[in-house]
């Protein structure tokens, strides 16, 4: 199929280009608030930055004391707040094309007028598409960092968080520990009962581990039947206690269906980040400790030899 290029043969093409240039100049320099808001929102896909821009522009026409935004994106709560609240509020559910993109609330000490509410709605009408795009971008980012089977963060997320945590540990001299947990003899579970049962055990294991951990702790599926747990402000001995609690939680997780009743145990390796150590070196020490736990009988916890002398 032959494609015809889009070639203008109009005699007034130069005038059209000149008009386009003038329109562009007017658009980029226009003091109109809606044009300015649109321009500024189009420069970023960061939802936090977009809400900051919206708050700045809205305040120039409708004074308020506080702006709040809440939305649950891909199973995670996103909360944004600026300023201090008041007793009067203007609250809006942001909906577009049948989908919900959060709740935006303006608060202040005196009641909003009908004219002000109309102005807020016009600003929201201008901002809703960029806000939707930012929410969808966050959802895509979270999907890329999430294990499809268990719903917890994946190895990509672990690699990113370990790199960031290593930097924070060096910069602020804060203590972080890492646990690698591997389900013992899991291949036999798949061989005997099938991968569907094995997958269900992995899901149940992830759920039981999440319930065992603190809110500040982070759990990841490292790969196969192996999980990783990142513990902030936790030294090696405390991390070992956490690892033992996780192993107990795994042991108590039983899959039952009909005549099938399957349980597993787990082995753990623990390492605490050392000053100047790279994320890869930190992870390697945890993996070596895990290997020792499995080599020495499984269903036990071992701490990195560098930290504990091989205990």
> What residues have CB less than 8 Å from 238, skipping those under 6 apart?
177, 231
Round to whole Å and give the CA distance between 279 and 271. 11
Round to whole Å and give the CA distance between 127 and 199. 42
**How is residue 233 written in tokens?**
């402000």
Alpha-carbon Rg for the chain in angstroms: 27
Beta strands in the chain (DSSP E): 66-73, 76-83, 88-96, 99-108, 176-183, 218-223, 226-232, 254-257, 260-263, 266-272, 301-303
Q: Please give the angle made by the CA atoms of 41, 47 and 50, to the nearest 5 degrees.
A: 30
Round to whole Å and give the CA distance between 163 and 176. 12
pLDDT tens per residue across all 311 residues of the chain: 566 666 656 678 888 888 888 888 887 887 889 999 999 999 999 999 999 999 999 999 999 999 999 999 987 899 999 998 889 999 999 999 999 999 999 999 999 999 999 999 999 999 999 999 999 999 999 999 999 999 999 999 999 999 999 998 998 889 999 999 999 999 999 999 999 999 999 999 999 999 999 999 999 999 899 999 999 999 999 999 999 999 999 999 999 888 889 999 999 999 999 999 999 999 999 999 999 999 999 999 999 976 444 44
Distances (CA, A) of 135 to 76, 105, 260: 11, 17, 43
301-303 and 266-272 beta bridge pairing: parallel
**How is residue 107 written in tokens?**
């608060």
- Is residue 225 part of the annotated active site? The answer reads yes
Round to whole Å and give the CA distance between 131 and 49. 10
Round to whole Å and give the CA distance between 229 and 184. 17
Task: Read off the pTM.
Answer: 0.74
Q: Which domains does the chain have, with CATH numbers?
A: 31-144 (3.30.450.40), 155-308 (3.30.70.270)
Environment class of 97 (CB within 10 Å of its CB; exposed 0-12, middle 13-18, buried 19+): exposed
Round to whole Å and give the CA distance between 31 and 38. 12
> Would you state the pLDDT for residue 307?
47
> Would you state the pLDDT for residue 272?
96
**Helix %, strand %, coil % of the chain (to 5):** 50, 25, 25
Out of 114, 160, 225, 277, the active site residue is: 225
């Amino acid at each position: 199929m032959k494609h015809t290029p889009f070639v203008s043969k109009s005699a007034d093409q130069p005038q059209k280009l000149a008009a386009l240039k003038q329109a562009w100049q007017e658009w980029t320099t226009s003091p109109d608030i809606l044009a300015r808001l649109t321009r500024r929102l189009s420069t970023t896909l960061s939802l936090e930055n977009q809400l900051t821009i919206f708050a700045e522009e809205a305040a120039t026409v409708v004074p308020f004391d506080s702006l709040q935004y809440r939305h649950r994106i891909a199973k995670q709560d996103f909360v944004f707040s600026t300023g201090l609240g008041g007793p009067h509020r203007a609250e809006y559910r942001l909906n577009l094309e049948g989908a919900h993109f959060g709740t935006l609330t303006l608060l202040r000490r005196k009641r909003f007028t009908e004219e002000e509410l109309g102005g807020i709605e016009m600003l929201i009408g201008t901002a809703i598409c960029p806000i939707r795009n930012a929410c969808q971008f966050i959802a895509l980012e979270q999907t890329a960092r999430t294990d499809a089977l268990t719903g917890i963060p994946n190895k990509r997320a672990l690699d990113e968080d370990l790199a960031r945590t290593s930097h924070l540990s060096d910069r602020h001299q804060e203590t972080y520990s890492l646990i690698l947990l591997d389900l013992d003899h899991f291949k036999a579970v798949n061989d005997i009962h099938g991968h569907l049962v094995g997958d269900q055990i992995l899901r149940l294991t992830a759920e039981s581990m999440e319930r065992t951990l603190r809110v500040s702790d982070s759990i990841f599926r490292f790969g196969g039947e192996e999980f990783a747990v990142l513990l902030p402000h936790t030294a090696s001995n405390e991390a070992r206690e956490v690892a033992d609690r996780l192993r107990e939680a795994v042991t108590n997780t039983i899959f039952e269906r009909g005549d099938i009743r399957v349980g597993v145990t787990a082995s753990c390796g623990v390492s605490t980040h050392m000053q100047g150590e790279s994320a890869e070196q930190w992870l390697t020490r945890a993996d070596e400790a895990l290997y020792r736990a499995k080599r020495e009988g499984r269903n036990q916890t071992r701490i990195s030899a560098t930290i504990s002398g091989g205990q």
